[in-house]
Chains A and B, each alone.
Chain A
Amino acid sequence: MAEERFQVTRSKVNDFALKLANVNGTGSSSANNLLMRAIFRMGVPVSGKNLFPSNIQGLPTWYEIRVNKYGHVSRAREYDLMVAMNGQTYARDVAEVTSGGFTMYDSSWPLDRDLIREDVTYLGVPLAEMCNDEFKGPRERILMKNIACAGALVAMLGIDMEVIAQLLTEQFAGKEKLRESNQRALRLGHDYATSHFDYPLPCRIESMDATRGSILIDGNTAAALGCVYAGATVAAWYPITPSTSLMDAFAKYCAKFRRDPETGRNNYLVLQAEDELAAIGMVLGASWAGARAFTSTSGPGISLMQELLGMGYYAEIPAVIFDVQRVGPSTGMPTRVQQADILTCAYASHGDTKHVLLFPAHPAECFEMAPHAFDLAERFQTPVFVLSDLDIGMNDWVSPALEWDDSYVPDRGRVLDAGELRELEVFHRYEPADAESVAARTLPGVSELGAYFTRGSGHTIEGAYTEYPEEYQAVLDRLSRKHTAVAEHIPAPIVDDRAQAPLGIVTLGSCELAVLEAIELLGKREIAADYMRVRGFPFGAAVRAFLDAHDTIIVVEQNRDGQLRTLLTLETPVSKEKLRSVLAYGGYPLSAEDVVDGVTKIVEA
C-alpha cells in the first residue's frame, strides 16, 4: 500500500466530510475546535458535530466536520477522511469511510492488517512517537498529540497556517508558553505530513467569502443571551445534560452585563435547585411575584416538573422552560439528540392541560425565541416551552450575527397596579377576560385591593374555591379558548411552496438543514416537494393552510412515534391518512440522506 499515491476521483474542494475518532478526556475537543474555526475563518460554510459519550474519561468520542460551499452542512453519513485515533472503535470508524477516501492513523504502532480496506488510502503519522520525543510529561504528550494531529490535517486539508497561527494567538492570549507549545506541536504534524505525503488532499479547503457577517455559536449560549436580553432576573435549574451549558452561559453573561457598576450588586439571581420539581417551583414562585423567570432542563427534568406545570397552567402563572431535548425514554442516551418531548410538553401534567411550545431550528432562533417566550408566557399567563435539542444546543453553528432591536419593549401582559385597582369596584382574579380570554392579574406587594388566593384546586372566576361543576367549567373552558388565542402569536411557519407540488414535507427544529438539502436532492430525482417548518404550537392558520393545500404530507422528525405528526392530527382538522412519517431517532443528528431515503420509499411505494 503506497501512502503517497492518491486515487483522485473528483474534486472535493469545499465539499467533503471528515470525522475524528478519539477517546474522551484526552483534550481532543480543543484540537477539533481549532480545525472547525479555521475553516470558518477561511469563509467556508462548515458544521461541527460533537458525538460524545455520557462519561468523563476513556470512552469513544467523535467529532464530525462537514464542509459544503453551498451551505449544506447537515450531518454527513459517510466521510471522505477518517482520523482514526481510537483503537476501540477503529473497525467501525474505517467502515464509515467513503470508497476512495482516506484514513489517517497514528503509525507509532503497526496497523492491524485485517482492518485495511483496499479502496481507502491510509495516511500514517507517528504522532505518539513524535510527541514523546518533543514533549515532557504524560499529560502534555497526550494533549499535544491531538494538536500535532490537527497540524497534519491542516496540511492535508490545505488550511491556511496563518489563520491557524492567528487562532492560537487569540486562544492563548497572555499564555505565551502554551501558545508556543501548541504552535510547536502543530508544526510537528504539519511538517511530517508535507514531507511524507502528496498534499493537500482532493478533499480540501479553498478560501471563500461565505461566512462574512456570521458567527460561530451554540444554541444554549444564544438562548441564554436571549434570556438576558428578555430581562429575566430569576433562573432556577438542576444540572442536566444537555441543558447545563445554557444556565452556565446565563450566569456568565449576567456576571458581565447585570452587575450594577455602582453598587457591585447583581440584578439577577440564579438558583441551583435540589431537583427539577424545585426548579419549576422556584420559577412559578418568582413569576407569580412579578419577575421574568425561567428554567432550563431536558426530558427527565420535564417528567419531574409535570405536577407544577399543571398548576402553572391552571392557576395561570407565567413560566419559561427551555427543554434541550435528548434521547429518551427514561435516562435514554443523555448525550445524543432526539425531538421526543413534543407530546409530553404539549400536554404536560394530569387533567386537561395544553401548553404553548416554540420550536427553534438554530442558535439565532434560540436567541430570538427567548424574549418571545417570555412575552407569550406573561401575556397569556401560562408556561411556555422552548423545545431546543442537543444538536442545536451544544454544537457550534455558523449563524448570522445575533441582532437585537433596541426598541423592544417586554410584553408584561395585563398586570394591574395600585392605581388601576383603586378605580375598580372589585378585583376578581379570573374575570373579566379580554378578547383573548386573558384576565388581568395582580402581584403581591402592590396593594391589598389586588389580594387573592392562587390555587391549583377548583376555583371560580373570582378565584375562590369551588366544587360546583358550572363554576369549575367556566374557568376550564376559558383556558381552552385562551390556548386557541395563542395560535396567532406563534411565529409563522417557514414555508417554501415554490415547487407547487402535491407533496409537502413538514418538519421542525434542527431537522431544517437536512430537510432543505434533501428537497434539493429529491428534486434531482424528479421528486418535487414543498416545505414547511412549523415553529410552535398551538398551530395557526398558515399551518392549517399548508396541510390543506397538499395531497400527501410527509412529516420529518427525530422520534420513533411521529410526535409532531400526532400533534398535527390531534390539533388540526387534517385527515390522518394524508400524513406520513419519515423518522430518525437513533440519536445522531439528521442527515439529508435519511430524509431522501425515507421520502423516496414513501413516494415510490
Chain B
Amino acid sequence: MPSIVKPVVTHPGLDRNALGLTIRDYEGGMSTLCAGCGHDSVTAAITHALWESDTPPHMIAKLSGIGCSAKTAAYFARGAHGFNGCHGRMPPIATGASAANRDLLCIGISGDGDSLSIGLGHLAHLVRRNVRMVYVIENNGVYGLTKGQFSASADVGSTTKRGEANHLQPIDPIFLGLSVGATFLARGFSGDKRQLVPIFRAAMAHRGLSVIDVISPCVTFNDHEGSTKSYLFTRQHDVQMTVTDFVPPAEEISATIPTEGVVSIPMHDGATLRFRSVPDGYDPTDRLAVMEHLMSARGRGEIVTGLLYIDEQSSDLHELGNTTEAPLTQVPYEKLCPGSAALAGVGFR
C-alpha cells in the first residue's frame, strides 16, 4: 500500500492537556515528504498548537488542495476529518464546510502554487468573506511534485537548481491580504517553531480568517545557492517584526509581568495577544501603518516574520449572514420546512 500507517507510540510521561490528551493524540499519518522538508516542521507546530488549545480532535476539519502542502493535512490530527480537494479549490470547500457547521475548527493547508496561482481568486474571496478558519500557506517558491518549476511566490532573481532566474514579480499573500480586508495576517518560518506555535494558537482563537504564510523550504528543488526560499537565505534575511505571546482566557495576565512597550490586544473569546516586541510606531491593528512597515522592509530585502496584522472587530461569515447560533447541520428539519399550509400564498391565483 503506497500510504504508510504511522505507529502510535505513547510515552507514559507525556504531558496531558485539559482533555487528558497527549501530543500523540494530535498526530496523524506518516509523512511521505522528503527528509528535511519544511512542511514537516509546520505540521509539528500545528500539532503542538492543537494539543495546547485543548480542541477535541473530532471538532477539527482539515482541508487542503493539491501539492506537497496538501499532503500534510494527513499528517496531523488523525481523529479529525480531512478533505483533500482539488488544486486551488480548498477555500470554497472550506467555506462550505464552515457555512454548514460553524462549530468546526477548520484548518486549511495550502501551498504557494495552490494559493497564489491556481487558487488566487478563491483565496482573495475567502479573505473578503472572513470565513472563520486557519489558513496556512506552506510557501517554498516552487512546484515540488512536478519537479521544480517556479511558483508565483518566487522572488525576482531567485534561480532554479539549473541556474535559470525568475523574472516575474512575486505575489505576496500578506500584501494581498492587507489589500482585500484580511483580519489576521502572519508570516513564519518553518525553521522557527517557537515563533509559529503562538501564532497558530492565536489564529485558532481569531474570529475570522487567519492567513499564516510560512516560508517552508523545499529541500529537493529550492534549497540551493541562488534560491531566496532556502533555509540559509531565510535564516540570513529573517527579521522578526513582532514577537507575540498568546495568553489563553484562563490565564489572567499577571500584573507583575513588565508591560512597558507591550501592546496587548484582547481577543473576542477572552484570550489576549501580547505583542512583546514591535518596532517603534508599529501598530498591528493599523492596516496602513503595517503596509508601510512591510513595504520598507521589502525594500531592505528583509523577510519579515511575526503576527503582522490583527483586526478582532470585523464580522465573520456567519455574523455577516446573521446565521443562527447552532450549526446549520443541527437545525431540525421541522424548523426548515414551512409545511403545506404555507403554500397557500404561493403563485399567482
Contacts and interface: CB of A to CB of B under 8 A. Distances in A.
B103 A273 contact: no
Contact of B96 (A236, A253, A443): A236
A246 to B, nearest CB: 15
Contact of A445 (B3, B93, B104, B317): B104
A269 B92 contact: no
B97 interface: yes
A282 B92 contact: yes
A231 to B, nearest CB: 4
A102 interface: no
Contact of A404 (B79, B325, B327, B339): B339
Contacts of A460: 1
A450 B339 CA distance: 34
Given A257-B338, A285-B96, A401-B347, A445 B323 contact: no
B346 interface: yes
Contacts of A539: none
A445 B348 contact: no
Given A446-B58, A456-B84, A257 B342 contact: yes
Contacts of B60: 444
A478 to B, nearest CB: 19
Nearest to A405: B340
A406 B321 contact: no
A406 B325 contact: no
B99 A286 contact: yes
Nearest to B337: A229
B96 A265 contact: no
A266 interface: yes
Interface residues of A, number: 82
A290 B327 CA distance: 10
A453 B336 contact: no
B36 interface: no
Contacts of B78: 451
Nearest to B345: A256
A264 to B, nearest CB: 8
Contacts of A399: 347
B339 A285 contact: no
A265 B100 CA distance: 15
B57 A233 contact: no
Contact of B92 (A228, A253, A279, A464): A279
A454 B347 contact: no
Contacts of B92: 236, 273, 277-282, 285
Contacts of A408: 337
Interface string A430-460: 0000000000001111111011111111001
A258 B322 CA distance: 12
Given A278-B122, A308-B86, A447-B58, A284 B1 contact: no
A354 interface: no
Interface in A209-257: 215-217, 221, 225, 228-229, 231-234, 236, 253, 257
Contact of A269 (B85, B104, B321): B321
B82 A311 contact: no
Contacts of A406: 339-340
B121 interface: yes
Interface string B90-108: 0111111111110110000
Contacts of A471: 1
22 contacts: A215-B348, A231-B336, A264-B322, A266-B321, A269-B99, A273-B92, A280-B92, A281-B96, A282-B92, A285-B63, A286-B96, A289-B96, A308-B85, A402-B343, A402-B346, A444-B104, A445-B103, A446-B58, A453-B74, A453-B84, A468-B1, A468-B2
The 7 closest A-B pairs by CB, nearest first: A285-B96, A215-B347, A281-B92, A448-B79, A291-B100, A444-B81, A282-B96
